Amino acid sequence: MAKVNLSELVEAYDGQGDEFGYYLDTATGEVLLLEDSLLGEVEDNLAALLDPTVSDLQIEELIDTQGFMVSFSPEELRRIARAYDETLTKVRPPDSREDYRIMEDFVRTIDDGQIKDDIIYAMSGRGAFRRFKDKLYSVDLLGAYFDFREKALFDFAREWCEYRGLEYEGALETGKQDDGRQVVQVSQMSNAQVASAEQAELETWYQQYRDKIGAFGLFFKAMEFDQATIAPKEGLPYTNRMMSTFQDDYFSYATDPAHIAKIEALFAATEDATLKRELSLRLRGLNQIAKLPKELYLDYQNAVVESQQCWEAAKAANDYAAFKPHLLGLIEKKKACLTYFDTAGSDYDFLLDEYEMGMTAQAYDAFFARIKEHLAPLIARIRQSGVVIDDAALHQDYDLAGQKAFTKVIKAALQFDPARAYLAESVHPFCTFYSGKDVRMTTKYEADNVTSSAMSVAHEYGHALYGLQVNPDYENTTLADDIGSAMHESQSRLIENHIGRSKAFWVSLYPKLQELFPGQLAGVDLDGFITMLNRSKPGLIRIEADELTYPLHILIRYEIEREIFDGQVDLDQLDLLWADKYEQYLGVRPATHSEGIMQDVHWSCAYYGYFPTYALGSAFAAQFYHAMRRDIDVDAALLEGRFEEIAAWLAEHVHTYGARYSFDEVLVKATGESFNPDYYIDYLVDKYTKLYQLD
């Protein structure tokens, strides 16, 4: 009788799926991975497959006719059929009770009483398995548990074989004690050699897993970009259905417990700090969505797509009544998802941390308190000063063809590389990343605002440049994909504001803008244009806001989101709450929903917790820019058309790290100190005090 390889059997325990499983052929000792549908078809055609008078050609015709088992030859199908009929046994892993017993046995080995009590507490109630592993990770015992569990599974496999009278071998070999009883002994390979081989195997598997997840991601990004830019609207329902099918496949593959277990095992085994960081970010995301029932996950994803598409049409028609059910429904679905997550603080803290790790409502409250303390009074002083900057010249009728021609000028100044970047149009500007050498961004054009598209191109190119300059070794890893939103916004806000609104940037560009629009700008000199470009005036539209009032636009959204997820607001009155807060903080009130609650795409996409990162990122930008000016002559680089010097500084001090380090670690590396909001506040106070001559 052939011997069963115990290592293969143990691997099979953690590799079972919803639609496939591992089977042991007791005649050959082989462990086979087979789809349930395949075995069903083998059973349906068993007589033909076992009949020696049925030729290989007839078997191939059967395959062609039914379209099943196309990856198997007739000989392989016959072998599977014979095993199915006589020697095939389903490999059934330990059930949840046995897994729980292994957990309990491991806890008994822990000497530290407090840690033991904490882990026992974590094992109680719903979500015990996940909380157990999270707690072990926090006290650096996860690797020890995986070693303990592996030994227990080998014992389980050995006992399973002995019960069925099967001989076994593998990484663990059989032997005899003096009493003749069969036992397991260590193979001739050393523990270090075994561990190294297993780790290498895990790393090879993980690369394949990562590539497949990347392929799913590329598909979703491509379809979303297409839908937001050029896709015919009539085709969206069909496209949505097809995307839903891929979401189903993605969820099943990404969150397969066997896959997550392998990632956790690799995390425990590796001593490579960079890989460990990459794996921790991967597990951070997987361990959240894996807790959701697939039906809820798919329903939520479909709701997001439908909400976003409804928002686009409703905003154009100023039809909040059409969008409102989608918005409120999406909020409720997000809340339903949150019930499955282990939120250490409030639900809103959990959402904030998703977009910038380590940030909480308490941290944002302190940050926004500084904004209200120092910037709100400055805005009031400007209003009371009576100084008015008339920027009407920038809000005349500017034909879109001329604006699009000027976009080429802006792109040239930023050294936009068409071989690696692409610009399209959409209702709301955004940037997405296909790879480290392929970024897609969009802008929008306003007929009565000649600088709107220029500023949005600068903003989105800040995002694009970040993606293009991440360490190429991080391609298709979480170190490139999971950069915090505040860090990303720091780069878009830096290019848009510190660079894009500076006089040095416009010295060579403004004459070209005047050439395109001589009638509108003939009487406006460069200094006058720069003054208009930087004027401060409370308005309704966030993406058109000046630097000084911008953080108050974010504060409004932050406060509303916090109230939504703390359950302190009547969702039916969100549009009125929005209008009231604009009147409270900026002294303006939206006349339409399109310039009010429907102006941003974020809530239609369920990006709850994202908005605060715009203000935090603006503060990061000021600190980065201060350090950049200390190291290089930024104005000279802009005046002489050497934007590559600015890009190179950002690459070296910020972009190359990707998500390898936390935002504060990157700030320390780039600027020499931890996050300090004083740079942001001082920058704005100094700039607008001078601009409005308040000294």
Q: 502 with 679: CB under 8 angstroms?
A: no
Q: How far apart are CA 29 and CA 312, in angstroms?
A: 59
Q: 273-289 vs 236-254: helix axis angle to the nearest 10? A: 120
Residue 399, C-beta contacts closer than 8 angstroms, at least 6 positions apart: 447
Structure tokens that stand for 249 in this block: 């496949």
The secondary element (H helix, E strand) that includes residue 253 is: helix 236-254
Q: How far apart are CA 619 and CA 489, in angstroms?
A: 10
Q: 411 with 457: CB under 8 angstroms?
A: yes
Q: How far apart are CA 138 and CA 152, in angstroms?
A: 23
Q: 281 with 483: CB under 8 angstroms?
A: no
What is the Rg, in whole angstroms, of the alpha carbon atoms belonging to the chain? 30
Partners of residue 431 on adjacent β-strands? 441
Taking Cα atoms as reference points, which of 509, 462, 458 lies closest to residue 647? 462
Q: How many CB atoms sit inside 10 A of residue 598's CB?
A: 26
Taking Cα atoms as reference points, which of 310, 351, 354 lies closest to residue 329? 310
* Given 11, 264, 460, 496, the catalytic residue: 460
Residue 4, C-beta contacts closer than 8 angstroms, at least 6 positions apart: 24, 26, 29, 31, 161, 166, 167, 168, 169, 170
Q: How many CB atoms sit inside 10 A of residue 175's CB?
A: 11
Structure tokens that stand for 487 in this block: 């860090």
Q: How far apart are CA 96 and CA 447, in angstroms?
A: 63
Partners of residue 438 on adjacent β-strands? 435
Q: 20-25 and 172-176: which strand pairing?
A: unpaired
The secondary element (H helix, E strand) that includes residue 32 is: strand 30-35
Partners of residue 25 on adjacent β-strands? 30, 88
Q: How far apart are CA 115 and CA 121, in angstroms?
A: 10
Q: Does the active-site annotation cover 460?
A: yes
Report CA-CA distances (Å) from 79 to 31, 76, 305: 14, 5, 46
C-alpha dihedral over 463, 459, 407, 515, to 10 degrees? -150
Q: 47 with 84: CB under 8 angstroms?
A: no
SS3 642: coil
The amino acid that residue 408 corresponds to is K
Structure tokens that stand for 583 in this block: 């009147």
Catalytic residues: 460
